[in-house]
Amino acid sequence: MGKFVNNVDEFFRFCADNDVKFVDLRFTDIKGAWHHLTYLLSALDKDMLSNGLPFDGSSIEAWQPINKSDMILKPDIETAFLDPFTADPTIIVFCDVFDIYKGELYEKCPRSIAKKALKYLEESGIGDVAFFGPENEFFIFDDVQIKDEINESFYRVDSEEGEWNDPSRNDDFGNIGHRPRTKGGYFPVAPTDSMVDLRAEMMQVLEEVGLEVVLGHHEVAQAQGEIGVKFGTLVEAADNVQKYKYVVRMVAHLNGKTATFMPKPLFGDNGNGMHVHQSIWKDGKNLFYKEGEYGNLSETARHYMGGVLKHAQAVAAFTNATTNSYKRLIPGFEAPSILTYSSQNRSASIRIPYGAGEKATRIETRFPDSSACPYLAFTALLLAGIDGIKNKYEPVGPMDIDLFELSLDEIREKGIQQMPHTLREAVEAMIKDNDFLKPVMSDAFIDAYKTYKFETQIWPDESRPTAFEFKTTYSC
């Protein structure tokens, strides 16, 4: 991630040079949502930024009780960047949360947890840096309507690219006719791709806020897109996801559209994934590389994959963090759920991308999605991989066949495990299998995360009838 400042003195000089009026302090909650407090720059000084600023931790879901609500935001000054969307010059700063009662980084702050994961990696002696490269897909819709009541519920999304609009007429222009069709969006030119200029604007704004953008393109589904950005260290990559989501949503919003990273907003078309590329390095050397081996992967990389695959059902509680996530992980929509690995094969849960030489060698987990909190998702993957390296777990595979063609019986016969089919299964797997997380995640955090997912996702989802259930059950 490109840096604009390196210390507090540079921060104030940068603010003066850019006529900054406001300082926006941002932190991430347990589900991955960004929160912020905005200070007048004139109200802040060097000591306040160095020592941290108070806020109410009891007002954030699954955090502090009201009788111990005082928390401290610790600005990470090197993350500062100008907000490209505010009317008045505003600088945004990522923050960690500090627990005044224990005198340490807060055990439920996802960014603080990610920092502890990097420290654990270094202390383990395995490596000194972990690189992560997420690929976040998104949908751009023209309209979204939602209703969730005791006797009625519905959603409706719309896009000019949706083939459901074939018989419709736009009052201003008539029907455009050019549409990518279901699973047809990879990747025709304009006018079938209606989002060329919108993605270009997003790419330019992402560069403005410090991300190194590589490419942008239409994705497989109708109204779906992706912008590729350069990888970073675990915390940098997670910070970049937060910036990426903010920019994509805001650019869409300011253009009269709405962006979502929801895993499966369209029935019968591809969903949004967050493929995550990973490698561990030490002393400037890629520990995942060994020329001549399968996929040029070293034993360390193989054992890392073994750990991820062994713990994948528990890891899914963090990488596939919503009930909607599991509507994406079904056969036929390029969302791998079979827990094996393969070189260049996109039907495997872990893929070894084609790359020439040491620098490009890495693994790619293909099951995560963008509903995950990136700090927690990357941490869970890293901890599972470290556990695999320590215990020399061998992954199932490699399997170079098209795994999407296998029947359930064939999968069972081959003894291959699958991803959970629901968020309940994932969280229950995490409850049973969490020792690999404990070097970094506390029991209190794991318990809070479990409770939060049951109370806000699993139970509310399981208790609601759906339109499909009325269609299949009403006349029984």
Which of 114-118, 359-363, 415-419 shows the highest mean pLDDT? 114-118
Q: Residue 127's CB: how many other CB atoms inside 10 A? A: 23
User: Residue with structure tokens 């039907």?
Assistant: 347
113 found inside a domain: no
pLDDT at 334: 63
pLDDT (mean) for 305-332: 94
Task: Please indicate, yes or no, whether residues 327 and 431 belong to a single structural domain of this protein.
Answer: yes
Same domain, 220 and 253: yes
The answer to whether position 81 is within a domain reads yes
**Which of the residue ranges 165-169, 335-339, 393-397, 432-436 has the most confident prediction, judged by mean pLDDT?**
432-436
Q: Tokens 């500090």 identify what position?
A: 98
Cβ partners under 8 Å of residue 344, min gap 6 = 351, 352, 353, 354
Contact partners, residue 415, CB within 8 Å, separation at least 6 = 396
Q: Is the confidence at residue 182, as pLDDT, over 70? A: yes
Give the model confidence (pLDDT) of 192-232 as tens digits.
999 999 999 999 999 999 999 999 999 999 999 999 999 99
Is it the case that residue 331 has pLDDT exceeding 90? no
SS3 call for 295? helix
311 is a domain residue: yes
Q: Are residues 378 and 408 in the same domain?
A: yes
Domain assignment present for residue 120? The answer is: no
Range of lowest pLDDT (288-297, 326-335, 415-424): 326-335
- Give the Cβ contact number of residue 285 at 10 Å: 12
CATH code for the domain of 375: 3.30.590.10
CATH code: domain of residue 94: 3.10.20.70
CA distance 146 to 212: 35
What pLDDT, on the 0 to 100 scale, is given for residue 415? 74
Give the DSSP H or E segment for 38. Answer: strand 34-40
Q: What is the pLDDT of residue 410?
A: 74
* 236 domain-assigned: yes
Average pLDDT score over the chain: 94
* Residues 138, 214 within the same domain: yes
Q: Tell me if 1 is assigned to some domain.
A: no
Phi, psi of 203 (to 5 degrees): -60, -40
Q: Are residues 134 and 89 in the same domain?
A: no
How many structural domains comprise the chain? 2
Catalytic residues: 56, 135, 137, 219, 226, 275, 346, 364, 366
pLDDT greater at residue 401 or residue 277: 277
Q: Single out the residue in 74, 108, 142 at which a domain terminates.
A: 108
Query: Up-side HSE of residue 152: CA atoms within 13 Å toward CB?
Result: 2
Dump pLDDT digits (tens) for 36-88: 999 999 999 999 999 999 999 999 999 998 998 999 999 999 999 999 999 99
Report the distance separating Cα 464 and Cα 467, nearest Å: 10
- Beta strand 350-352 with 363-365: parallel, antiparallel or unpaired? antiparallel
- pLDDT attached to residue 335: 67
What are the Cα distances from residue 144, in Å, to 69, 140, 257, 400? 36, 10, 9, 40
Domain identity same for 99 and 191: no
Arithmetic mean of pLDDT, 255-283: 97
What is the full DSSP assignment across 200-261? HHHHHHHHHTT--EEEEEE-SSTTEEEEEE--EEHHHHHHHHHHHHHHHHHHHHHTT-EEE-
CA–CA separation, 187 vs 180, rounded Å?
8
Residue 347 pLDDT greater than 80, yes or no: no
Given this model, what pLDDT does residue 171 score?
64
Residue 249 CA: distances (Å) to CA of 58, 205, 206, 291:
27, 12, 12, 42
115 located within any domain: no
What confidence score (pLDDT) does residue 414 get? 73
Structural domain range at position 102: 8-108
Based on the fold, state whether residues 94 and 33 are members of the same structural domain: yes
Per the confidence metrics, is the pTM higher than 0.85? yes
Is 361 found in the same domain as 423? yes
Confirm if 97 and 91 have CB atoms less than 8 A apart. Answer: no
105-119, 169-183, 225-239, 291-305: which has the minimum mean pLDDT? 169-183
Which residues have a Cβ under 8 Å from the Cβ of 245 and sit 6 or more positions away? 34, 136, 261, 370
Determine the Cα–Cα distance for residues 261 and 140; give it in Å rounded to an integer.
Answer: 9
Q: Does 173 share its domain with 46? A: no
Q: Which of 78, 82, 95, 74 shows the shortest CA–CA distance to 3?
A: 78
Does 90 share its domain with 195? Answer: no
Q: Which residue has the higher pLDDT, 166 or 174?
A: 166
Share of the chain above pLDDT 90, in %: 84
How far apart are the C-alpha atoms of 383 and 114, rounded to whole Å?
Answer: 10
Distance CA 195, CA 218 (A): 8
* Over residues 305-310, mean pLDDT: 97
Residue that finishes a domain, picked among 108, 139, 170: 108
C-alpha 288/C-alpha 302 separation (Å) is 8
Among 326, 273, 315, which residue's Cα sits nearest to residue 457? 326
Confidence of residue 417 (pLDDT cuts 50, 70, 90): confident
Looking at the fold, whether 354 and 398 belong to one and the same domain comes out as yes
Same domain, 143 and 206: yes
Structural domain includes residue 121:
no
